[in-house]
Structure 1
Amino acid sequence: MQDDARSDDEIQLAARHLFEGVVPERSAELIALWKQYQPKFHLLSDDGPDGMFVMAAGRYRDVAFNHRALRAFWLAAFIAWEGYLRVHEVATNGSADFDRFDDMVNLFARILAEEDPSSVPLPQGVSEPGHYTDAKQSPQERAAAELATFATGWAFLHEIRHIKHQQEGTGAAPDDPVEKHHEEELSCDEYATTFILDGVDQYAQTENVDSEKVRQKRELGIYFAQFAMTLIGAGYWDASDTHPAMQKRIDATIKLMGGSGTRMSDAVAHAAFAALWRKWPDAPGPFRAS
């Protein structure tokens, strides 16, 4: 890990706040998790020796990431939301202008490639990561920002499960068969998904809100995390030595969520990916016909 990585108290507190914001009803479990596994978060530079895009777990407790990764997950949610809006427009009006969506996808690729991702200005209507506009003033921007937070939380929970695997001795070793590596990745997806969803009813009861609406919103955040990973791995969606094919990961997550293709979260996610299929017909996605 690079020498100039930041792992000060501010970084640790920001990580804790992310998890507590995504699953506030599980605060006691998060405290217990921190005590037992003692994860430590490290903010790396965007052009260091660890690579351009960093979000990984290792050394039994370390979770490394950089601003590029955070910026990517954030923008991806706004792109997914834009795709949904345009496909919905097609369904209601018969046509839509996808120029903004296409421009956002192209800008996403620039953020992944530029030495300084913050030098790439975000599109109009996309706030900086972590900034939330007033829902009454800009409901669409606020919706995308909240879903981006769930997507980012899902990604970090995935890495937490890697830490647990390492400490429990259940992780894949470098020389293990490909299947073992794939199994671990799918288990990390499962952990992140269930951690976000299992407390839905508890949260809804505490806040006196509709449980199904809470579930649909959280599921959509998980879908948007997978939309982000699809953009990040553009053109490289097949299985590798370390990761299952992206379509397999999406299908497995849908099965966990009980997706049927008819619920609100399923429909919005399918529309977002459908916008992407215009550009990349071979891209994976939810409820993709085989």
Structure 2
Amino acid sequence: MDVSEAVDQLFSGVVPERASELSALWGAQEDRVRLLDTPRFLLQQRWETIQVSELALRQLWIAGYAAWRAIEAYSVPLSVFPLEHFDPEAWSLSPSQAEKEATFERLFDKIIEIGLHGRVEGFDWPEDVPSPQEGLKISDPEKKGTYDLVCIAGAYVFAHEIRHGLFERDEDTPAEEIDEERACDDWALSLMLDQVELYAEANGWSAELVRSKRIMGIIIAQLTIITLTPREKWDHSTDHPPVSERLHSVLSAASEPTPHWFWITVTSMLLAFARRAGVKINYIPSVQNFRDFAFHICDQLKSS
């Protein structure tokens, strides 16, 4: 199924300041993006077409709502207890905290479960996650806010694949696959962030709020990649950079000033996803604030 127009609309909603530029680069012809009925995560550029599976889009969607539950689970204890007393195992002794963590873990597990199920039909969709078909009809403020972040995540991953296509079209693909992946990450990040200030100013919005929101969405995209990548390949892949390197680049794009809530929110997401993936996170004395902590968690995302 050709879904090129839907992806164009996605970019128009997420990065409207770049939409005309992107159209000039990428074109407006049919079959630039095709939705394929494939029983696995699929998102790739082949033969001048981005191929994506419905399964992949659903996994990204659920990851966004899991990220919101991660924020609900960890932002309060992180804000209440001094960082030097960081002890999530002790926090979990509280029934209310344990319940919030369990809610996050259930949605995290659903990201994996739908992949193992191999299709959308017959999958036990989580009751507290709206279906993608609801889209702009979502009225709950928190779920609508999460929908916005998922759209940003989607625009970022499609932008990454567009860059692959531009390399292919222009016959200037880097010699090494890993270098091409880095270049595509950089290009996608640039597309999403480079003109934020001009866009925000033109609309009377805070540039730091717009930039922070977009980075949060991109982090969700990276957390989805981490969740779906076998841990033994996190830093031992021949064709992709280490997951910590890719996430580090996104975190580094969060130039100051950032909103007061930004780094504790990011830390909450990273902490939840890392712990559920089996990464033990400890406090170290060099961590002085939540920005430091976010980078510290990022550095721990290793294969072993």
Q: How does 1:33-112 map to 2 (within 5 A)?
A: 33-35=25-27, 40-47=32-39, 52-59=40-47, 61-92=48-79, 95=94, 96=97, 97=99, 98-112=101-115
Q: 1:186 to 1:152 in 2, by over 3 A?
A: same
Shift of residue 73, structure 1, vs aligned partner: 0.8
Give secondary structure in 2 for the equivalent of 1:215. helix
Distance in 2 between residues matched to 1:25 and 1:276, nearest whole Å: 32
Segment of structure 1 superposing worse, 144-153 or 87-96: 87-96
1:27 to 5, 19, 29: 19
2:250 to 249, 253, 275: 253
Distance in 2 between residues matched to 1:170 and 1:36, nearest whole Å: 22
| Counterpart AA for 2:150 | A
Give secondary structure in 2 for the equivalent of 1:116. coil
Shift of residue 199, structure 1, vs aligned partner: 2.0
Shift of residue 261, structure 1, vs aligned partner: 9.4
Whether the 8 Å CA contact 1:151–1:222 is kept in 2: the answer is: yes
| Counterpart AA for 2:143 | E
The match for 1:116 is: 119
| Counterpart AA for 1:149 | C
Distance in 2 between residues matched to 1:157 and 1:267, nearest whole Å: 27
Q: How does 1:133-212 map to 2 (within 5 A)?
A: 138-172=140-174, 180-212=176-208
User: Tell me, which stretches of 5 or more residues in structure 1 are unaligned?
Assistant: 1-5
TM-score, L = length of structure 1? 0.83
Of all paired residues, the percent bearing the same amino acid is: 25
Deviations 1:6-35 (A, max 9, x none): 22xxx1211111111111112221221233
2:217 to 216, 221, 232: 221
User: Tell me, which stretches of 5 or more residues in structure 2 are unaligned?
Assistant: 81-90, 282-292, 300-304
Distance in 2 between residues matched to 1:261 and 1:205, nearest whole Å: 16
Whether the 8 Å CA contact 1:57–1:64 is kept in 2: the answer is: yes
Whether the 8 Å CA contact 1:230–1:246 is kept in 2: the answer is: yes
Shift of residue 201, structure 1, vs aligned partner: 1.7
TM-score, L = length of structure 2? 0.80
Matched, 1:242 2:239: yes
The match for 2:84 is: none
Aligned length in residues = 270
Q: CA RMSD in A?
A: 2.7
Distance in 2 between residues matched to 1:29 and 1:237, nearest whole Å: 34
Matched, 1:278 2:278: no
| Counterpart AA for 1:87 | Y
Q: 1:125 to 1:259 in 2, by over 3 A?
A: farther
Distance in 1 between residues matched to 2:224 and 2:158, nearest whole Å: 13
Distance in 2 between residues matched to 1:259 and 1:232, nearest whole Å: 31
